[in-house]
Chains A and B, each alone.
With several copies, the nearest count.
Chain A
Amino acid sequence: MLGITEQFRDKWVLLQISGEIDMATGPELRQRIVQYVQEGHLHIILDLAKVDFIDSTGLGVLIGGLKRTRSHGGDLQCIGLSESLKEMFKLTGLDAVLTEKDV
């Protein structure tokens, strides 16, 4: 199960994600990000505080979102990382590119 709620702040879209991001639910999140970029919302913040689980396909969605927003001059950032998510970002080298942002 994946929950997504959106808030618009200045030029940022803040998405609060809850549940699990895996091969079953990842496509929905990917689709949402594609749609924001199409609509011109190029700055996306993902609040992952309520994400219980993310796997490598979920990381793939984050990387895809990062590439998509940046290639349009925008950005994607992740906040609310739990200890185990931080660990996973480190393991995969993602921590270097998907940095936390103070909102």
Chain B
Amino acid sequence: MNSGITLEIPAKAEYLSLVRAVVVSAAALDPAFENQRLEDLRLAVSEATTNAIRSHANLGSEERITIRCGLTSDRIEVEVQDRGPGFNPEKITPSGSLDEPGRLNYEGGFGIPLMRVLADEIKINSADEGTTVQLVVYTPPSNDNS
């Protein structure tokens, strides 16, 4: 991810649609990227950015969220980095399933499970200084006989 673009935003919800627009524009640089996968990526990145923004609730407004976006021949990689307090991802989603009984009793907790379903790869690195979520979506091979 030395190449590609970097976007820094204030940790405010109003910037979410801008982040989505950037990711869509970046992915559009690869014409092989299919519409459905673009939707998946857009939603996954939006979820990661929403969590990042939430994690800054107790930080000064100068602390930014960083979104990095890299395209290579076979994948698009997006990294969302916050300076929030961090968390333990293993403790959050023990089962990862969305359709357990009683699931509707609370209104949150969809974000990480959704990201796991939408992205082809996801890595969450979290520590006291912040969290980095790395999302990878594969692009189809550019030859036509797929």
Contacts and interface: CB of A to CB of B under 8 A. Distances in A.
Do A and B touch each other in the complex, judged by CB within 8 A? yes
Interface string A14-37: 000000101110000000000000
Contacts of A84: 36, 39
Contacts of B111: 56
Interface in B98-146: 98-99, 103-104, 107-108, 110-111, 113-114, 117
Contact of B17 (A22, A64, A88, A96): A22
B107 A64 contact: yes
Interface string A89-103: 001110011000000
Contacts of B13: 22-24
Interface SS majority for chain B: helix
* Residue of A56, A57, A61, A88 contacting most chain B CB atoms (<10 Å): A56
Interface string A69-102: 0000000000000001000100111001100000
Contact-residue bracket for chain A: 20 to 34
Contacts of A61: 107
B50 A57 contact: yes
A8 interface: no
A59 interface: yes
A31 B20 CA distance: 25
Given A91-B114, A92-B98, A93-B98, A22 B107 contact: no
Contacts of A63: 104, 107
Given A56-B111, A93-B99, A93-B103, A24 B14 contact: yes
Interface residues of B, number: 26
B42 interface: yes
A97 B103 CA distance: 11
A1 B99 CA distance: 30
A86 to B, nearest CB: 12
A97 B74 CA distance: 38
B16 A22 contact: yes
B43 interface: yes
Interface string A37-62: 00000000000000001011101110
The 9 closest A-B pairs by CB, nearest first: A56-B110, A93-B99, A60-B107, A24-B13, A23-B13, A93-B98, A63-B107, A56-B111, A92-B98
